[in-house]
Every structure is written in C-alpha cells, then in structure tokens.
Structure 1
Amino acid sequence: MFSFRNFNIADWFSLYRIMAVPLLVAFIWFGERQLFTWFLLISYSTDAIDGYLARKLKITSARGSQLDSIGDQITLVMGLIGLWFFENEFVLANYQLILLAFLPYVLQMIIAFRKYGKATAFHTYLAKSSAVLQGVFILWLLFFGPVYWLFYFMVIVGVLETIEEITLIFMYKEWVEDVKGIYWALKDKRRLKKKSVKNPTS
C-alpha cells in the first residue's frame, strides 16, 4: 500500500501511531494503566507534530493525509479500549452517550469504504476540534478521573463532526483530502465539478 522509501518525517510520525498499537495492547493486557496512558499521550502528541511538520515543510500529500487519518482512528479506538478496561465503571454508567457518539462514526466509516474503498481524510476544522477534545478527555480521565462537562461537550462536537463528514462524503464523488468543512466544500468548485461533469443530467 505504501512505500516506506518515500516516507517523509511527517509520515513517520503518523506511522508511529499505527505501530504503537501492539505496545498499547500489551500494556492493557498486563494492566499497566500508567504506562498505557503515557504512551497514549505520546500517540496523541504525534498527531499534532505530523500535521505541523507537513505544513511547515510543505510536504503534505494524499499518502500523508491517509496515514494521518488511519493513525487518528486507531488511536481513538485504542483510547476507548483503554477506557473499557481501566475505567469500566464510567463506561458502563455512560454507555448510551458513548454509543451515541461512536455508532455514527462507525456508520461514516462504512459509507466511506463503500464509496471510496478507504477512510476519509477531510481533516475538517470540526474533525480537528473533535480529535483534540477526545484526546484531552480520555487522557484526563485516565490520569485524574472524569470531567463531565468536557465529556458532554466532546459527545456533541463528535456527533456534529460525524454528520459533517457524512455530508462531505455525499458531496464528493471521488476521494479528496483536506477539506476544511461544508462551507469550504461548497466553494471548492474545482473538485466538486468532477461530479457534475460525469453526471451532466444531475
């Protein structure tokens, strides 16, 4: 799928989040909550680093965007698995809200794979905000305990972000990267016009 020889420094930071999964699983298996939380913090930190480097060094690419998205999704899943094992009481007490945020996300992934054959890489402002909130909440919960106002805010932003992602999937016939949001997509005539060219009667 990817050629490691062509990877740039931002790609390697994204790849770290994927490669860290077995280590995080091992920490969960052996009940090492503190080690799991610290290494999860490192994974979340690389998400900020790779994006900054890609923009600063002007090395953004479709490969990098896809790696970044895969790394983000895997890190979120690992964070949720960590919560299940280390904060099971909180998860069971709030499973309805957690499902409210997570099930639409799964639906969005299914729609994306059916249409594009891979995950989206829109990297909208809402998606970035949602990822930051998720990371802060999960890490804070694992380090110190739950903050409920942050939990509710995270759920609301997560649901809105997923709705926006699904809307963008239907707006773009072909896979695209780096769309700031629906407003910017409507102004993105260069990429949106591909749909009208191939479907002149629509």
Structure 2
Amino acid sequence: MHKPSYYMVNAITLYRLLAAPVLLTLLFNHELAIFKWLLAVSFLTDAVDGYLARKFKVTSVFGSILDSVSDDLTTAVAIIGIALINPGFLKKEIVWIVIQVVFFITQIGFALFRYGKISSFHTYLAKFVTVFQAIFLVLFYWLPEPVYPLFYFVAVLTILDLLEEIILVLIIPKWETDIKGLYWILKRQRT
C-alpha cells in the first residue's frame, strides 16, 4: 500500500465527516448561500475519494467504513436542510421518504446485528444511486422548486439499492466491502 495516497484519500473522506457539523451549523444560522456550496463540495469529494482509492489501490476496512459514515452524514444533513427550508416538500412526499427511511434503518439494523458494524458494500447500484441522490440534493438548494421527476427516480433507485443491501446482509455471512452487487454474490455462491 502506498501510504501517502492512503492518507490523502482518507483525508478527503474525513473532510466530509468534519463538514457535516459545519453544514448543520450553517443551516441553523440560515447561511444557505455558503451551505449549498459546501454541500456540493462534500458530494464532489465523495466521487473523488472513491476514484482515488481505486486508482492508487489504497482501499481499507477503515476507509470503507469512514466513507460510508461520511456519505450517510452528508445525505442526512442535506435532508435536515430540506426539512428546515422546505417542510412542505417533506409533507407532500412523506410516504416516499418514510419508505426510504424504514429500508435504511432496516439495512443498518441487520448489518449491526449480523456484523457488529454498518455495511460498506459500495455496490454498483449504490454508486449509481449516490450520483443521482447528490444531483437531486444539490439541485434542491440551487433551483427555486424541487425537480419532482428526479426525486421519484431517486426514491425508487434508493429503495432498490437498500433492498439489495438488505438481501446482501442476509446472505453474506462475514462483513465484506467493495461488492459489485447481488448478481455477483449469487454467481460466486454457485461456483
């Protein structure tokens, strides 16, 4: 492992973790202009750290968990912002939001019970969903109205991703990271 690259990648991920409370503070202080820029940077660093980790081959258990926690916190802060800035949107879309939250909590709960820690699969579907979640959440703060078709698309993808991860937790006996997806796990189990 190339240590400088390892530290650089984890430092980028750590930025996202440390940015979450800063973003919350900006929200509660009504500093939306700064908040939306830093939120966009946080989502961008998610793409950068993953790319660099694969390029320099510096993936680790610590880095995978740090990445997953940082991703979840960034998304949570963005959703808290929606609740503060546009609670009407949450009321209107409460069913979609509750379904996603229930699936998320179920997945986390199953992983904690089975592995003693959160999952960090980083499946292809999860990566795909993360891109569209980031696009929706960033646009939410930059445009005057939410992009509803994009929201529904992201909601369905998120539910499918969480369902896949729940199934993965149920069928993979030991904690693993960087799994391509359910298809590849089933294929691996058949051989």
Q: Same fold (TM over 0.5)?
A: yes
Counterpart for residue 171 of structure 1: 171
Counterpart for residue 147 of structure 1: 147
Counterpart for residue 197 of structure 1: none
Q: Is the 8 A contact 2:13 2:67 kept in 1?
A: yes
**Percent of pairs identical after alignment?**
37
Counterpart for residue 35 of structure 1: 34
The separation in 1 between residues aligned to 2:138 and 2:65, in whole angstroms, is 24
The separation in 2 between residues aligned to 1:148 and 1:112, in whole angstroms, is 31
Counterpart for residue 161 of structure 1: 161
Alignment of 1:97-176 (within 5 A): 97-144=96-143, 145-176=145-176
Tell me the alpha carbon deviations over residues 8-41 of structure 1, each in whole angstroms, 9 at most, x when there is no partner. Answer: 2111111111111221111111111121111111
SS in 2 for 1:78: helix
Shift of 1:187: 3.0
SS in 1 for 2:179: coil
SS in 2 for 1:113: helix
> Against the structure 1 CA distance between its residues 148 and 6, is the aligned structure 2 distance closer, same or farther, given a 3 Å change threshold?
closer
> Against the structure 1 CA distance between its residues 7 and 57, is the aligned structure 2 distance closer, same or farther, given a 3 Å change threshold?
closer
Larger radius of gyration: 1
- Structure 2 runs not aligned, ≥5 long: none
Tell me the alpha carbon deviations over residues 68-109 of structure 1, each in whole angstroms, 9 at most, x when there is no partner. Answer: 111111111111101111121211111111112222111111
What amino acid sits opposite 2:49 in the alignment? D
SS in 1 for 2:183: helix
Q: Is the 8 A contact 2:100 2:159 kept in 1?
A: yes
- Structure 1 runs not aligned, ≥5 long: 194-202
| TM-score calculated relative to the size of structure 1 | 0.87
Counterpart for residue 49 of structure 1: 48
Counterpart for residue 198 of structure 1: none
Aligned length: 187
Alignment of 1:25-104 (within 5 A): 25-104=24-103
Q: Is the 8 A contact 2:26 2:32 kept in 1?
A: yes
| TM-score calculated relative to the size of structure 2 | 0.92
The separation in 1 between residues aligned to 2:106 and 2:30, in whole angstroms, is 31
What amino acid sits opposite 2:81 in the alignment? G
Calculate the aligned-residue CA RMSD, in Å: 1.8
The separation in 2 between residues aligned to 1:42 and 1:85, in whole angstroms, is 21
Q: Structure 1 stretches (4+) deviating beyond 4 angstroms?
A: none
